[in-house]
Structure 1
Amino acid sequence: MKNRPFHLINTVLILLCCQFGFSQKSLPEDQLIGKGNPDFVERDGYKLRPEAAKAFDEMKAAAAKEGIAFQVVSSYRNYAHQNRIWERKYKAYTADGLSPQDAITKIIAYSTIPGTSRHHWGTDIDIVDANGNANGDLLVPSKFHGDGPFCKFKAWMDEHANDYGYYLVYTDDGNRTGFNYEPWHYSYKPLSVGYLEQYKKLDVQQVLQEQKLMGSAEFTPEFITRYRTQNILDINPELLP
């Protein structure tokens, strides 16, 4: 393994921040659910919280030296943006004949219910390699494996992402439930762990009922309990409080 003293020091600092809470600033409840007026750095096609943006830029520069060009597919998404995704999919699936319950089940294979997305926090980002020259939908797991266009990107991230505080959220652990495997979705741990700790204290049932989402009649207490356990909390253990 290469000698990376700077990155090792950076990793130690990140771990110390997590342990002693220096980085885990609390958020107002409205920002936890994608509303309010967050403080973001916005450039090069992404929005992130300043600390997460700084680490991302350092990681991006290091990857560029290895011939990898980070392409941001998605970063911060506010509530309204997530709701547009939700409504588009819900309308399409029910128009195809799916019941509301089956439509929701299909949506939450990859997409979150508005108000529950990690992308609301400004700590999570979907990225690929622009030098992969991929065609069609970029966010397909097979493109990150075998001879896929993003294999070099994935190998680099597997080795280096944690040095910058970024961790894969939805891993390919066969025992994990909830959202499907997403080799493109990374979270900035020094902030997101604290935000998840805050989010766990919210009454998700009440939050979702207040929003009056399409299909919300299906959000029974049993559904919410299962969604919270599997989709919100069954993630990479490194990102759990």
Structure 2
Amino acid sequence: MSQKIDIDILQGKTTNHLVGDSILLEKETFKAFEKMKREAFNDGIRIKIVSGHRDFERQTLIWNSKFLKFTEEYKLKPEEAINEIVRFSTVPGTSRHHWGTEIDIIDEEFKNEKNPLITEKYEAGGVFNKLKRWMDLNSKKFGFYLTYTNDEQRKGFEYEPWHYSYKPISKNFLEEFKKNNISKLILDLDIMGKEYLTKEFIEKYINENILSVNKELEL
């Protein structure tokens, strides 16, 4: 049975459970990452986190800026803009990055790489392929699993070869989050384009974006 988790933790509205300096992580996640980082370093891989915990305000800023960009710069209809946003970004308050259990990683050897979080850079010939191959072989023994896999059966967010989740904690967090009225949490938000978040959209978003993750994270 999962332990009850405060909704403020799940929605990125508190940092009481986090540790770290510039990048914050949930305490157990931090310990596990440090172990994995040390072993990777011994194998010639310098894992660098470029995104860990992301708070509610930051996610709201990301959402609003993307909504403005897609509607004003790219002239998309609001509904189209929202569908484009949720290919890679979450509705504020529903991001797994709020929990402190998620990490986006690169190889620090190439820390000055522009726009690092691009799928091709983790594939054969890409600057982060060495990192990806090491993670494929080793990440699970430290509790880290790809969150959004390259699985055609998985719906929702696009494949993210840089995004890993610390399963021993994130599994419980997701179970607790599912116990909330997520539709109401979304409808209560004050974000751009809120009026276009229809009942149908929210239902689809919950099922395909929030719940459709790497199946190994659910076991």
TM range (shorter): over 0.9
**What is the match of residue 53 of structure 1?**
30
Unaligned ranges ≥5, structure 1: 1-20
Encode CA deviations 1:2-31: one digit per residue, 9 max, x unaligned: xxxxxxxxxxxxxxxxxxx6xx54321121
Encode CA deviations 1:64-113: one digit per residue, 9 max, x unaligned: 11111111110001100101111111111110211110111111110111
Q: Is residue 163 from structure 1 mapped to residue 136 from structure 2 by the alignment?
A: no
Q: Is residue 65 from structure 1 mapped to residue 65 from structure 2 by the alignment?
A: no
Match of 1:212 among 171, 182, 190: 190
Distance in 1, matches of 2:119 and 2:100, equals 23
Distance in 1, matches of 2:26 and 2:63, equals 24
- Matched residue SS, 1:211: coil
Aligned-residue identity in percent: 41
Encode CA deviations 1:139-161: one digit per residue, 9 max, x unaligned: 00000001000111000000100
1:65-214 to structure 2, matched below 5 A, reads 65-96=42-73, 97-132=75-110, 135-214=113-192
- Provide the aligned length of Structure 1 versus Structure 2: 218
- Matched residue SS, 1:125: strand
TM-score between both structures, scaled by the size of structure 1: 0.87
- Matched residue SS, 1:126: strand
Distance in 2, matches of 1:133 and 1:29, equals 34
Letter matched to residue 65 of structure 1: N
TM-score between both structures, scaled by the size of structure 2: 0.95
- Matched residue SS, 1:197: helix
Distance in 1, matches of 2:156 and 2:117, equals 17
Gap change, CA 1:224 and 1:150, over 3 Å in 2? same
Unaligned ranges ≥5, structure 2: none
Encode CA deviations 1:159-213: one digit per residue, 9 max, x unaligned: 1000000000000011211000000000000000001001111112211121221
Greater C-alpha radius of gyration: 1
Encode CA deviations 1:118-156: one digit per residue, 9 max, x unaligned: 001110010110114663200000000010001110000
Distance in 2, matches of 1:174 and 1:110, equals 16
Match of 1:41 among 14, 19, 32: 19
Letter matched to residue 141 of structure 2: D
Gap change, CA 1:209 and 1:176, over 3 Å in 2? same
Q: Considering only aligned residues, what root-mean-square deviation do their CA atoms show, in Å?
A: 1.4
Distance in 2, matches of 1:36 and 1:48, equals 12
